[in-house]
Amino acid sequence: MALSDKKPPQHIAIIMDGNGRWAKKRGLPRTAGHAAGAESFRRIANYCRTLGVKYLTVYAFSTENWKRSEEEVSGIMRLLGKYLKEALADMEKNKVCFRFFGDLSRLSPELQKLCAAAVDESKDYDVQVNFCLNYGGRDEIVRAGRAFAADVADGKYKPEDLTEELLAKYLYSADVPDPELIIRPSGEMRTSNFLLWQSAYSEYVFLNVLWPDFGPADLDEAIEEYHRRNRRFGGT
């Protein structure tokens, strides 16, 4: 069956990895890899809209990525600001609804304002892009635990009220179904702290292409591989 005959997953998540190696191969600074990675993201977000994917969650900057050099981190933040300004100017064309997963309070006030404006101005579009920025799966679960504990202290819940469904409501992904498919390009085969809770039964596809080179054909390949998988959810 051709790809177009099958329904794509409703939620695809991508670990956008390999920008640095892409730049190194070309003798360019790492920031040039991140700039190329931003273009790749634009291309894939557009393609997901064409395919009818409802949610696209992308890992852009992790809670651990602050360990990188000041130069690289500020370069990434500058590119993010540039990307968001362009996205804001082009809302009509892109037609995606922006959401951010992560602790934005560590970003500059200017970036935080751009994120808030992107969410506000795109809320009526229906392909939802969850942009993971200063995001860590463990951090997300710790925050959920704290928020639940605060509600217990306020008398809103008793400890025994906590269920998987209730805990999920405290996550950044509260109203988003779990991703059926998680793709990691770049050849690495690990989660690097991405969507730890939500990925319990996701299908992982690892591809040997660097993120800036990742195109629609790679997404097709990952979706085809996903359709070949036999999802059992613990059953038979």
For residues 53 and 154, give the distance between their C-alpha atoms in angstroms, rounded to a whole number. 39
Interactions with ligand IPE, residue window 70-99 (CB under 6 A):
76
Binding of residue 139 to Mg ion (CB under 5 A): no
**Identity of the residue, 131 or 148, whose beta carbon is nearer to ligand IPE in the bound complex:** 131
CA distances from 174 to 9, 96, 164, 186 (A): 19, 19, 12, 29
Q: Where are the beta strands (DSSP E) in 35-156?
A: 55-62, 96-101, 127-135
Residue 217 Cβ, how far from Mg ion at the closest point, in Å?
22
**Using CB distances below 5 to 8 A depending on partner kind, what does residue 61 bind out of ligand IPE, Mg ion, none?**
ligand IPE
List the x/- string, 1-30, binding to Mg ion by CB under 5 A: ----------------x-------------
Residue 17 Cβ, how far from Mg ion at the closest point, in Å?
4
**Using CB distances below 5 to 8 A depending on partner kind, what does residue 102 bind out of Mg ion, ligand IPE, none?**
none
Continuous H helices in 91-155: 91-94, 109-121, 137-153
Joined tokens for residue 64: 């651990």
List the x/- string, 188-217, binding to ligand IPE by CB under 6 A: x-x-x-------------------------
**Identity of the residue, 29 or 151, whose beta carbon is nearer to Mg ion in the bound complex:** 29
Joined tokens for residue 144: 């959920």
Asked if residue 77 lies in contact with residue 111, where contact means CB atoms within 8 angstroms, the answer is yes
Nearest position to ligand IPE, beta carbon:
20
Residues with a catalytic annotation lie at 17, 65
For residues 113 and 81, give the distance between their C-alpha atoms in angstroms, rounded to a whole number. 10
Interactions with ligand IPE, residue window 164-193 (CB under 6 A):
186, 188, 190, 192
Asked if residue 49 lies in contact with residue 127, where contact means CB atoms within 8 angstroms, the answer is yes
Calculate helix-pair angle for 30-51, 216-228, nearest 10 degrees.
Answer: 60
Binding of residue 21 to ligand IPE (CB under 6 A): yes
Binding of residue 62 to ligand IPE (CB under 6 A): yes
- Footprint on this chain of ligand IPE (rule: CB under 6 A): 15-21, 59-62, 65, 76, 186, 188, 190, 192
